Amino acid sequence: MSNGIPRSKSRARSLFSTAALVASVALVLTGCSGGLGGSTDGGASAGADGEPIKLGMIAPFSGSESAFGDYMKNGAQLAVDEINKAGGVNGSQLELLTEDGACDPTTAVSAANKLVTAGVKGSVGGYCSGATLPTLPVFNDAGVVMIIPAANSNQLPAQGLDNVFLINGTGTQQAAAAVKYAQKMGATKLAVVDDNTDYSKDLAVSFTQQSKDAGLDVVLTESVNAGEKDYSANVNNVVKAMPDFVYWTGYYQEGGLITRQLRDAGYAGTILVGDGSVDKKFAEIAGAGYTDNVFATFTQTPDMLKGAEAWVASYKDQFGDEPGPYSTQSYDAVRVMAEGFKQAGSTDTKAVIDALMAIDGFQLFSGPLKFTPEHTLSSGGFAILSISEDGTFKLEDDLQG
């Protein structure tokens, strides 16, 4: 009894803590392979026969954005399976490794390091721009080429890293399509609503800027807080500003609610939503009768292309669910990456980057691919969609001419 605590308890306590320590040290020590001080295993053994080429994908599988993780993963997996069935790339099979980035920078960086450690040759993930940005240097240092399917903040190409490619249209391109449509509709008073996250805000800012340049009056920019249910206060602000055109730049979960609440509050004008809201669930959440005069900016959807029914069918067949936002982009990301490997004839970073830059006319869902010097799509391929009876989005206006 001479120390601070009763003896019997303290023994159990110390045993436990010692065990915990030993366990944690053991956990750290095992699963490690080779010291770090020496060298990183550059491009060795890449694509050797029998060894699959590993592709990494960081997407949100936990947290508030986790709904999108599976869409992306499934889309990519579909492409990997197709390519493997067709004989793989340069004689090797592809293998998809997914890691949770949780839309959190720290988690995403850990995930990136994990993928690098696992020896991925390409990254086909990246959803939240905020969490994707800090992974760029990690992949860049390791010489991993990134084809980012979803994240599209203007900050990404602005980093000027040559291993980073974006195959989602950028905010600027999407905003241009939205403004074009607003003009076409003859709207004069615009309101833009974002959800205060990086992607949405980026798009909203671009939209506001371009609207002003086009001589349109943006009467209100409103931000909502993602993850809530009641947006009546925000909706009230919108209605009071009396716009004739509202652009929602966030995701479908809130988008459906806001559309419904806008209509309930008496707003009758056009509602345009961004690509994050293009999901069958959007109409479901908004409810029947709430999707008239609602349109979306989106790169073309599967059902607008020939053979897309087959794609949707095989997606459904394999995963038992409809494809969602960024399923197509993730699918395309894998295909573009494979094409890059194929053209380069290896997985060598420099060669793949050159090969990707040389691609011209490779068919994506969003149209033929040609990268700009900034490594973004030369044309966003944005079109205007409307919502059909069953809640699916269909092509309304391709904005050509």
Partner 1 sequence: MASLFGSRDRIDDLLTAPAPFVKRPEQNKGLLHPQRFMNMFGLIVFIAAMVLPFISATPYIISILTSALIYVMLAMGLNVVVGYAGLLDLGYVAFFAVGAYTSGILSTRLGWSVFETIPVVLLACVAAGIIIGGPTLRLRTDYLAIVTLGFGEIVRLTANNLAITGGPSGIHGIRTFSFFGWSFADGATLFGIDFNSKVLFYYFVLIVAGGLAVIGAARLGKGKLGRAWKSVRDDEDAAEAMGINTYRVKLSAYIIGAIWGGLAGVLMGSHLTAVSPTSFEFLYSALVLMAVVLGGMGSTPGVIIGALFISLAPELLRDFADWRYLIFGVLMVITMIFRPKGVWPANAMLPWLHRRSPMRSAAERDESDEAVVVTVPEPPEERRP
Partner 2 sequence: MTQLIWNGLFVGSFYALVAIGYSMVYGIIKLLNFAHGDVYMLGSFTGFLLLGSVSGLLGTWSLPVLLLVLLLSMLFTGTIGVIIEKVAYRPLRSSPRLAVLITAVGMSFVLEYGIRQIFGPSPRVFPVRLAGDPIFFLDARITLPQIVLMVIAAALMYFLQRYVMKSREGRAMRSIALDTQASLLMGVNVNKVISRTFFIGSALAGAAGVMAGAYYGSIDFLMGFIIGLKAFTAAVIGGIGNLYGAMLGGLVLGLLESFGTNWLGGQWRDVFAFACLIAFLSFKPTGLLGERVSERM
Partner 3 sequence: MSEKTEESEKTEGRQVALPGSTDAPTAVPLPPKGDLLLSVKDMHVQFGGVKAVDGLSFDVHEGEIISVIGPNGAGKTSAFNCITGFYRPSKGSVLFAGRNLTRMRPSNITKLGMARTFQNVRLFKDMSVLENVKTAMHSRLKENVLDTLLHTPRYHRAERQCTLDAQGWLDFVGFGGDEEHLVTQLPYGEQRRVEIARALATKPRLLLLDEPGAGLNHSEKQALIALIRKIRELGVGIVLIEHDMGLVMEVSERIVVLNYGKEIADGTPHQIKNDPKVIEAYLGAEDDD
Q: Tokens 């195959």 correspond to what residue? A: 167
Provide the 10 A C-beta neighbour count for residue 248: 32
Which of 155, 232, 293, 346 lies at the binding interface for partner 1 (CB under 8 A)?
155
First to last CA, the chain: 89
Which of 51, 284, 292, 309 lies at the binding interface for partner 2 (CB under 8 A)?
284
Q: Does 18 bind partner 2 (CB under 8 A)?
A: no
Biggest alpha carbon–alpha carbon distance for the chain: 89
Which of 3, 38, 230, 307 lies at the binding interface for partner 2 (CB under 8 A)?
230
Which of 77, 92, 123, 129 lies at the binding interface for partner 1 (CB under 8 A)?
129
Q: Enter the tokens of residue 8.
A: 């019997």
Q: Which does 34 bind (CB under 5 to 8 A by kind): partner 3, partner 1, partner 2, none?
A: partner 1
- Collapsing DSSP to helix, strand or coil, 161 comes out as coil
CB 166 within 8 A of CB 376: yes
Instruction: Give the pairing type, strands 294-299 and 382-387.
Output: antiparallel
Q: Does 140 bind partner 1 (CB under 8 A)?
A: no
Q: Which does 356 bind (CB under 5 to 8 A by kind): partner 3, partner 1, partner 2, none?
A: none
CB 336 within 8 A of CB 147: yes
Q: How many CA atoms lie within 13 A of 23 on its CB side?
A: 6
Which of 128, 176, 191, 377 lies at the binding interface for partner 1 (CB under 8 A)?
128
Whichever of 4 and 186 has its CB closer to partner 3, that residue is 4
Whichever of 142 and 385 has its CB closer to partner 1, that residue is 142
Binding flags for partner 1, 188-227, as an x/- string (CB under 8 A): --------xxx-xxx--------------------x----
Q: Does 131 bind partner 1 (CB under 8 A)?
A: yes
Q: Does 8 bind partner 3 (CB under 8 A)?
A: no
Whichever of 106 and 236 has its CB closer to partner 1, that residue is 106
Candidates 55, 52, 31; CA nearest to 139 is 55
Which of 57, 77, 99, 203 lies at the binding interface for partner 1 (CB under 8 A)?
99
Provide, rounded to whole angstroms, the least separation between the CB of residue 382 and partner 2: 24
Instruction: Give the pairing type, strands 360-364 and 217-223.
Output: unpaired
Radius of gyration of the chain (CA): 24
Whichever of 4 and 401 has its CB closer to partner 1, that residue is 4
Provide, rounded to whole angstroms, the least separation between the CB of residue 260 and partner 1: 25
Q: Does 38 bind partner 1 (CB under 8 A)?
A: yes
* Residues ≥6 apart with Cβ < 8 Å to 287: 256, 260
- How many Å apart are CA 216 and CA 43, to the nearest integer? 52
Cα-to-chain-centroid distance, residue 179: 23
Query: 257: burial class by Cβ within 10 Å (0-12, 13-18, 19+)?
Result: buried
Whichever of 20 and 233 has its CB closer to partner 1, that residue is 20
* Residues ≥6 apart with Cβ < 8 Å to 81: 318
Q: Does 198 bind partner 2 (CB under 8 A)?
A: no
Q: Tokens 């994050």 correspond to what residue? A: 276
Which residue stretch of 1-9, 64-72, 104-112, 357-365 sits at the interface with partner 3 (rule: CB under 8 A)?
1-9
- Taken in order 327, 329, 332, 336, the sign of the CA dihedral is negative
Which residue stretch of 2-10, 186-194, 228-236, 386-394 sits at the interface with partner 3 (rule: CB under 8 A)?
2-10
CB 312 within 8 A of CB 322: yes
Whichever of 4 and 215 has its CB closer to partner 3, that residue is 4
Which of 78, 103, 120, 356 lies at the binding interface for partner 1 (CB under 8 A)?
103
Instruction: Report the interface residues with partner 3, using CB under 8 A.
Output: 2-4
Instruction: Report the interface residues with partner 1, using CB under 8 A.
Output: 2-5, 7, 10-11, 13-14, 16-17, 20-21, 24-25, 27-29, 31-40, 61-62, 99-100, 103-107, 109-110, 113-114, 116-118, 128-131, 133-134, 137-138, 141-142, 153, 155, 159, 196-198, 200-202, 223
